């Protein structure tokens, strides 16, 4: 298992590193499969359609993120392509990466679009909303360190975290980013950004580092 999300008082969804999606509506007593085949089987069917890097798939996900409306985006363990899934689909949809460098992580913006991080510190945003393979790079001051995660507080405000205490903020939907110098002296890699709501957010780092959003 790589991801689990409570979607209601009695319901939840779970994703395994093999790409299986299970849903429950009775507090976990019973689980139902939401996809009909493994990711490996999907790639065997679609590799001839031109998914670059699919033949090197090792059978696991590097990261999985869920949108509020139930869509998923997952990055292959090597970072050479990504996959998406929407409620009602029988299997994952593979996509070629739109950038030269390998993908570090991907997730959803508050407006329904995608963000994409590449190894080495690059940040890309999809053009428009929804699932697409069309991305454009956004300049960021990462000081040469990799960016590991992005979390949206609202459609306009988001935070990005990375290696060696890198913490960036945007207030215009991701068009421009500025460094939060308050994190410059934190001797830790920051690797997860989560907002529970627009007033409560956290950044998790290694060695027990936990930052809380103060507004």
Q: In this structure, is residue 199 part of a structural domain?
A: yes
Q: In this structure, is residue 195 part of a structural domain?
A: yes
pLDDT at 63 over 80: yes
Provide mean pLDDT across the span 132-148: 88
At residue 118, φ and ψ (nearest 5 deg) are -110, 160
Given a contact cutoff of 8 angstroms between Cβ atoms, the answer to whether 171 and 186 are in contact is no
Residue 52, SS3 per DSSP = coil
Report the alpha-carbon angle 108-181-112, nearest 5. 10
Given a contact cutoff of 8 angstroms between Cβ atoms, the answer to whether 149 and 135 are in contact is no
Domain count, the chain: 1
At residue 38, φ and ψ (nearest 5 deg) are -70, 160
Q: In this structure, is residue 61 part of a structural domain?
A: no
Given a contact cutoff of 8 angstroms between Cβ atoms, the answer to whether 92 and 36 are in contact is no
Question: Terminal CA-to-CA distance of the chain, rounded, Å?
Answer: 33
Tens-digit pLDDT profile for residues 148-201: 999 999 999 999 999 888 999 999 999 999 998 878 788 899 999 999 999 999
Task: Write b or e for each residue in 157-172: b if 16 or more Cβ atoms lie within 10 A of its Cβ, otherwise e.
Answer: bbbbbbbbbbbbebee
Weakest mean pLDDT among 8-12, 51-55, 104-108, 173-177: 51-55
Q: In this structure, is residue 43 part of a structural domain?
A: no
152's tokens: 């949206």
| Boundaries of domain holding 206 | 98-212
Q: Kindly indicate the confidence band of residue 53, based on its pLDDT and cuts at 50, 70 and 90.
A: low
Q: Kindly indicate the confidence band of residue 58, based on its pLDDT and cuts at 50, 70 and 90.
A: low
Q: In this structure, is residue 88 part of a structural domain?
A: no
Q: In this structure, is residue 9 part of a structural domain?
A: no
Tens-digit pLDDT profile for residues 92-112: 999 988 888 999 999 999 999
pLDDT at 133 over 80: yes
What does the alpha-carbon distance between residue 159 and residue 201 come to, in Å, rounded to a whole number? 10
Query: What CATH number is given to the structural domain containing 156?
Result: 2.130.10.10
> What's residue 57's pLDDT?
62
Q: In this structure, is residue 55 part of a structural domain?
A: no
Q: In this structure, is residue 154 part of a structural domain?
A: yes
């Amino acid at each position: 298992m790589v991801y689990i999300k409570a979607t209601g008082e009695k319901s939840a969804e779970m994703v395994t590193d093999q790409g299986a999606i299970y849903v429950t509506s009775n507090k976990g007593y019973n689980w139902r499969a939401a996809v009909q085949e493994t990711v490996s089987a999907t790639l065997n069917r679609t590799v001839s359609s031109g998914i670059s890097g699919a033949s090197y798939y090792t059978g696991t996900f590097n990261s999985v993120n869920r949108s509020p409306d139930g869509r998923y985006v997952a990055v292959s363990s090597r970072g050479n392509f990504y996959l998406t899934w929407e409620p009602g689909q029988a299997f994952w949809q593979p996509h070629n990466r739109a950038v030269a460098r390998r993908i570090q992580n991907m997730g959803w913006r508050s407006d329904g679009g995608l963000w994409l991080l590449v190894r080495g510190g690059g940040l890309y945003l999809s053009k428009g909303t929804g699932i697409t393979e069309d991305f454009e790079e956004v300049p960021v001051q990462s000081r040469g360190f990799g960016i590991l995660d992005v979390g949206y507080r609202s459609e306009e405000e988001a935070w990005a975290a990375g290696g060696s205490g890198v913490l960036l903020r945007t207030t215009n939907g991701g068009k421009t980013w500025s460094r939060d110098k308050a994190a410059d002296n934190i001797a830790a890699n920051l690797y997860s950004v989560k907002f529970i709501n627009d007033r409560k957010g956290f950044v998790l780092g290694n060695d027990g580092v936990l930052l809380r959003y103060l507004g």
